[in-house]
Homo-oligomer: A and B are copies of this chain.
Amino acid sequence: MIKVTIYNEYLHERASERVAKVYPHGIHEALKENLTDEDISVKTVTLDNVEDITDELLADTDVFMWWGHKAHEKVPDEIAVRVQQACLAGMGMIFLHSGHHSKPFKLLMGTPCNLSWREDGDREYLWVCDPSHPIVQGIGNYIKLEHEETYGEPFMIPEPDKLIFIGNYEGGEAFRSGCCYRRGYGKIFYFQPGHETFPTFYHPDVIRVLKNAIRWAVSDYRGVLECPHIKKIEE
């Protein structure tokens, strides 16, 4: 059983009727319901109980999923560092949509992770760059989303180890929408779709990608990162 923990700040859903209609119990609950599977179990955390992201929880998490937007700064630095360190020690991480600006993602990338953005509900096509990658199994050549927030280049990230999706928006933008990294002992996937006003997290192909990404990001290896003083090898 793969243990997934989802963080969702859970503010938009309680502040906006429009968002509440799409995610009445919050993005985290929609994700939990849709991602739970015979080999995937899900816990959730929100900003209200962000202190629950303890070392114990992280040690008991195979893959951590992060959705945040307007309250990135309210996540305490020490918790962001804790998440970063757990990932470096082997925990998988999936950052969703506006999670590009979350503290743990920026800490892991080392860059500002800025991008251009536009909220016009454009149609988006997400194109698969490599149909053989585990993350896109079961997906066709592209995923069509009727409406998404538009993200545009330049996206200030390190060159991805592997680019999985590029997005085309009807207004003309293009974006590196699915990016894989390995940092320390952990695997990281950034996935661009998931604006709070659209039902992206109910789309079967999006759910399939996220389940695939969970299975891809989980690792049997979990290690402490050290800087040991060693002795000369005796020959």
**A125-B174, A127-B154, A144-B233 are known contacts; what are 20 more A-B pairs with Cβ within 8 Å?**
A84-B110, A110-B110, A111-B183, A112-B225, A117-B228, A117-B229, A118-B230, A127-B152, A127-B173, A129-B153, A130-B154, A130-B182, A132-B221, A137-B220, A156-B225, A158-B158, A159-B161, A162-B182, A166-B174, A170-B172
Whether A159 lies near B168 (C-beta < 8 A) is no
> Are the CB atoms of A116 and B228 closer together than 8 Å?
yes
* CB nearest to A84 among chain B residues: B110
Assess the B172–A233 pair: CB atoms within 8 A: yes
Instruction: Tell whether, in the assembled complex, residue B162 and residue A168 are in contact, meaning their CB atoms are under 8 Å apart.
Output: no
How many residues belonging to A are interface residues under a CB distance threshold of 8 Å?
70
**A169 at the binding interface (Cβ < 8 Å):** yes
List the B side residues contacting A176 at CB < 8 Å: 129, 163, 166
- Asked if A171 and B232 sit within 8 Å, CB to CB, the answer is yes
Do B163 and A159 touch across chains, with their CB atoms under 8 A apart?
Answer: yes
* A128 CB within 8 Å of chain B: yes
Interchain CB contact under 8 A, A153 and B172: no
Q: Check if A114 is an interface residue, CB within 8 A of chain B.
A: yes
Q: Can you give 17 contacting A-B residue pairs, CB < 8 Å?
A: A112-B227, A116-B227, A118-B229, A123-B172, A125-B173, A127-B154, A131-B185, A132-B184, A132-B219, A137-B221, A141-B154, A158-B181, A159-B162, A168-B168, A168-B169, A170-B172, A171-B232
Q: How far is the CA of A51 from the CA of B162 in the complex (A)?
A: 36
Q: Say which one of A5-13, A24-32, A62-70, A101-109 lies at the interface with B.
A: A101-109
